[in-house]
Amino acid sequence: MDEQARIMQALGGVSLAGHSIQGGMALPPPHGHDGIDDGRKQDIGDILHQIMTITDQSLDEAQAKKHGLNCHRMKPALFSVLCEIKEKTGLSIRGAQEEDPPDPQLMRLDNMLLAEGVSGPEKGGGSAAAAAAAAASGGASDNSIEHSDYRAKLTQIRQIYHTELEKYEQACNEFTTHVMNLLREQSRTRPISPKEIERMVGIIHRKFSSIQMQLKQSTCEAVMILRSRFLDARRKRRNFSKQATEILNEYFYSHLSNPYPSEEAKEELAKKCSITVSQVEHRADSAPQSVSNWFGNKRIRYKKNIGKFQEEANLYAAKTAVTAAHAVAAAVQNSQTNSPTTPNSGSSGSFNLPNSGDMFLSMQSLNGDSYQGAQVGANVQSQVDTLRHVISQTAGYSEALGGNTMYSPHGLDANGGWHDTTTPSAVISPTEGPGSVHSDTSN
DNA sequence: AAACATGATTTACT
DNA sequence: AGTAAATCATGTTT
């Protein structure tokens, strides 16, 4: 609060310099030239002397003298003289002022504080809300804990900010009224126009708002630091929940021939996953982004070492194969059936993979009767993926279904299912004979 | 603590 | 704009 004191002092200086009786516009010393009426002159000189020494004296003394002066018979005359002089110099003083540029820096700070929820309306009572949020999200506690920690700190900052701001506001008002009282008081001895008072108030406010700006600036800094410490820890990754991984893997392995979910599919997957995961909230697009990351990583890592993913692939393939088989069966029996087992969107309907195309056709021929074109086709396709995979694991069945085309464990990439074909069949052959493949598929 | 797993970021390409 | 590939940085397992 040194600053404050300094400013006050500065303000005091301004007010004195501009208007005080001991300012530069003091009349020349009362010696003057040889006058016509020396007694009168002496009188005036006396008064001026008294005026000029007022400030050097104690308050009581000054008060007394002021009173004396106010009642002096010469007072009206002197006052009018002062008015006159002021009139002449007043214009020059006033001209330079009166423009109010909305300081861009200040606006920037304000916007930022508003955006960070520091200066905005109190949302939900700080720690209570944080606690509530933590309680509400139940399982995913680690994230919430961190988050509530962040919010607690933010609340702290906001409290400090607001109390300080209030303090400044109060001080400003106090000081303003003080100065105004002073001016009003002085207006009895010297002419002070309302404009001047206004200007003075303006000056005071400007000074105080510059102090406020400092406050805002340091608050912003604090918030930024807090952010970088907590939320902005973008690098600080958080593993997906088991459930989310399940969903994603399911999609991946059931779309192995084309594991590129469309935007919509991503959103849907994100909805399914990120809700349970409570993955980085705020920034609405982060969830689909995460899905994209996941698929990107998955694709590259899968391709890089297919062997490593065998087990997983089997698992998910078998998993979905059940539903797939059911769905296919249903489709065969009832052409109207539109099984919603897999969340694929129609967009993936068109492939240019000869391999899967064959299979697709064969499955279609299986259906025999009429089907609903693309939609059913797409569903079947995704199921075919999983079926084929399962089939490829069981040596016997691949022949049984005449699937010799899909010799490689993942006939899909054998043909460059997605982009390149880095040694498709070289890696793993369906040697391991896990009898684990569900016999459901045989139907 | 080392090794591995994994989500995110960066870079370059199309 | 969307990916692949390389890389980073952290989480998890050993």
Residue A317 CA, nucleotide C12 C1', distance (Å): 26
Tell if A290 CB is < 7 Å from nucleic strand B.
yes
Tokens, residue A176: 């303003």
Q: What is the pLDDT of residues A221-266, one digit of tens each?
A: 887 777 666 655 555 678 888 889 999 999 999 999 899 999 889 9
A234 touches strand C (CB under 7 A): no
- Angle at Cα A394 formed by Cα A388 and Cα A399, nearest 5°? 75
The residue among A122, A102, A123, A120 whose CA lies nearest residue A111 is A120
In the predicted model, residues of chain A with pLDDT beneath 50 are 1-36, 95, 125-143, 277-284, 337-377, 394-416, 421-443
The separation, in Å, between residue A299 CA and nucleotide C4 C1' comes to 9
Distance A292 CA to C2 C1' (A): 10
Q: Is A419 left (phi over 0), alpha (psi -120 to 50) or beta?
A: left
CA of A195 and C1' of C5: distance in angstroms?
A: 71
pTM above 0.75, yes or no: no
- In whole angstroms, C3 C1' to A261 CA is 12
Q: Measured between alpha carbons, how far is residue A194 from residues A89, A109, A256 in Å?
A: 16, 33, 81
Among chain A residues 250 through 279, which have CB within 7 angstroms of nucleic chain B? 279
**Strand B nucleotides within 7 Å of a protein CB:** 5-9
Write out which nucleotides of chain C lie closer than 7 A to a protein Cβ. Answer: 2-12
pLDDT at A372 (0 to 100) = 40
Q: Rounded to whole angstroms, how far apart are CA atoms A179 and A177?
A: 5
Asked if the Cβ of residue A420 lies within 7 A of any atom of strand C, the reply is yes
pLDDT of residue A67: 73
Q: Which residue is nearest to nucleotide C9 (CA to C1')?
A: A235
Q: How far is the CA of A233 from the C1' of B12 (A)?
A: 26
Average pLDDT, chain A: 65
Taking the CA of residue A311 and the C1' sugar atom of nucleotide C13, their distance in angstroms comes to: 19
Residue A280 contacts strand B, CB under 7 A: yes
Q: Answer for A419: CB within 7 Å of strand C.
A: yes
pLDDT of the residue at A387: 57
pLDDT at A299: 95
Instruction: Using the C1' atom of nucleotide C6, identify the protein residue whose alpha carbon is closest.
Output: A300
SS3 labels along chain A: CHHHHHHHHHHHHHHHHHHCCCCCCCCCCCCCCCCCCHHHHHHHHHHHHHHHHHCCCCHHHHHHHHHHHHCCCCHHHHHHHHHHHHHHHHHHHHHCCCCCCCCHHHHHHHHHHHHCCCCCCCCCCCHHHHHHHHHHCCCCHHHHHHHHHHHHHHHHHHHHHHHHHHHHHHHHHHHHHHHHHHHHHHCCCCCCCHHHHHHHHHHHHHHHHHHHHHHHHHHHHHHHHHHHHCCCCCCCCCCCCHHHHHHHHHHHHHCCCCCCCCHHHHHHHHHHHHHHHCCCCCCCCHHHHHHHHHHHHHHHHHHHCHHHHHHHHHHHHHHHHHHHHHHHHHHHHCCCCCCCCCCCCHHHHCCCCHHHHHHHHHHHHHHCCCCCCHHHHHHHHHHHHHHHHHHHHCHHHHHHCCCCCCCCCCHHHHCCCCCCCCCCCCCCCCCCCCCCCCHHHHC
Q: Could you report the per-residue pLDDT of A22-81, keeping only the tens digit for each?
A: 333 434 444 444 444 566 667 767 777 876 776 676 677 767 776 776 777 777 787 787
- The reply to whether A235 Cβ lies less than 7 angstroms from strand B is yes
The pLDDT value recorded for residue A379 is 55
What is the distance in angstroms measured between the alpha-carbon CA of A354 and the sugar C1' of B14? 24
The predicted structure's pLDDT at residue A328: 63
- Cβ A92 to strand B below 7 Å: no
Q: What angle do CA A57, A62, A66 make, to 5 degrees?
A: 145
